[in-house]
Amino acid sequence: MNVTEIIDGVIMLLVMVGALLTLISAIGALRLPDVYTRSHAISKSTTLGMIFILMGTLFYFWLKHDHFNSRLLLAIVFLFLTSPVSAHLISRAAYYSGVRPWEGTVRDDLAERRENRTKSAK
Amino acid sequence: MVMFNVALVLLSLAVICFLYRVVKGPTVADRVIALDAIGICLAGMVAVLSIILETSVFLEIILLIGILAFLGTAAFAKFLQKGVVIERDGNH
């Protein structure tokens, strides 16, 4: 087993793990009961899966073609910073526009605050 | 090389699942989250395709898709919460 085979194996492992994590998050989007749990599943595992895929691509072009692509590194950092933020924004907008959580939810710490908001709006 | 094609198939299956959520999703927030995830999956498919085609000219597209997905989602979240995307300054 020489160095080239190890590099090939590591790149394939990174890409496959990333694709599997993305598929798992899609299955979560199908099966989970409400917006908040779906947002939880999608935002975390899609972000990690995409970081794995982009790292595999970065290593492929760096180690096999001797071409370090800084745009890919920038894309990884940008995705890591913005994907949780967009999930937060959408969940917050859904909560304040009146989407109820799943009926099995045990506690809802923001309920009082939402009541105050709808009262002051009227 | 076969593994990269398998990864492409897995990503396509994920896009199909997200498309089901876009079509069925009971609320608008579901659809927006699923569309954002489809955009991110598309960026990953571009990355895997550029490995398969052995070219590095598509790698800018990944960053571009990431930025566009974030901007679209942020704008839609603001529209959902406030009804406008860019607020008018009421002082003058």
Q: Express each pLDDT in B30-89 by its tens digit.
A: 999 999 999 999 999 999 999 999 998 999 999 999 999 999 999 999 998 888 888 887
Length of chain B, in residues: 92
Let me know if B1 is exposed, middle or buried by CB neighbors in 10 A (0-12, 13-18, 19+): exposed
How far apart (Å, rounded) are the C-alpha atoms in residues A69 and B50?
13
Residue B57 DSSP label: T
Q: Which residues of B touch A54 (CB under 8 A)?
A: 43-44, 47, 62
B84 DSSP 8-state letter: -
Residues 62-81 of B with CB under 8 A from A: 62-63, 66-67, 69-70, 73-74, 76-78, 80-81
Indicate if ipTM > 0.95: no
pTM, 2 dp? 0.89
Contact A23 B11 (CB under 8 A): yes
Cβ atoms of A16 and A53 closer than 8 Å: no
